[in-house]
Amino acid sequence: MSKRYHHGDLREALLDAAVRTLDAESLDAVTLRRLARETGVSHAAPYHHFSDLDALLAGVAARGFRMLREEMSRKAGPEDPDPFVQLRAAGTAYVTFAVLHPELFRLMFSGRWPGAGQPPELQDAAERAFAVLREMVRNATLPGADQGAEAVESGSRASWALVHGLAMLLVDGRLDARPGESPVDAAERITLEGTGVLGRGLRSL
């Protein structure tokens, strides 16, 4: 933090600043010049670490997926032997993450990097996050699965879509918290209710 000429780890510092800015404001507020300013560096310095703004945003999104994956793994720890309970815990972690970092969450799913154009780091981080969820769906459904991988795959996608939809609608303010209820509490309650109702379909796969 002294006034050395070389920053030390500007790349990570820029990503930090970007996440901070997203949490405090919005995606529009994330500009290379501003991040440079906040990192105490000239506005041209970031170009030594990111080829352009888009590359930096991809790095931010990748970090977001890593955070999301970690949260899901952590909250759906192996304490509980019921894989269905674990799955719901992971879902809750997913939705809670979105509510805590709405702008970051939006960036991650902004469609800014369509399919093939996705940088490998981002692709990889996203894939690893989804894998957590998919694995848990597999565990939760496999025991009773008569209908093979195809049905399990559908169930997996549907589960993901359910929590993703809940997350998005919450972030959009389309689902209301109860009076006096904190956003995180609302996220947890709504996720448990939603997965409770529709989850029955999964069990009987």
Binding site for DNA (CB under 7 A): 4-8, 10, 31-34, 36, 41-45, 47-49, 52-54
Residue 49 interacting entry, from a copy of itself, DNA, none, C-beta within 5 to 8 Å by type: DNA
Query: DSSP H helical segments within 6-113, as ranges?
Result: 10-24, 32-39, 53-75, 83-100, 102-108
Q: Does residue 17 touch a copy of itself according to CB under 8 A?
A: no
Report the nearest approach of a copy of itself to the CB of residue 45 (Å).
26
Map residue 49 onto helix, strand or coil. coil
The yes or no reply on residue 145 touching a copy of itself (CB under 8 A) is no
Q: What is the DSSP letter of 115?
A: G
Q: Show the CA angle centred on residue 41, arms to residues 39 and 47, nearest 5°.
A: 100
Q: Residue 9 Cβ, how far from DNA at the closest point, in Å? A: 7
200 contacts a copy of itself (rule: CB under 8 A): yes
Mention every residue, 6+ apart, whose C-beta is less than 8 A from residue 20.
Answer: 38
Residues 6+ apart with CB under 8 A from 43: 32, 33, 36, 37
* Ranges within 115-134 binding a copy of itself (CB under 8 A): 115, 126, 130
**If we measure between CA atoms, which residue out of 68, 70, 74, 62 comes closest to residue 18?**
62
Q: Does 14 bind a copy of itself (CB under 8 A)?
A: no
The binding site for a copy of itself (CB under 8 A) comprises 102, 106, 109-111, 114-115, 126, 130, 151, 154-155, 157-169, 171-175, 190, 193-202, 204-205
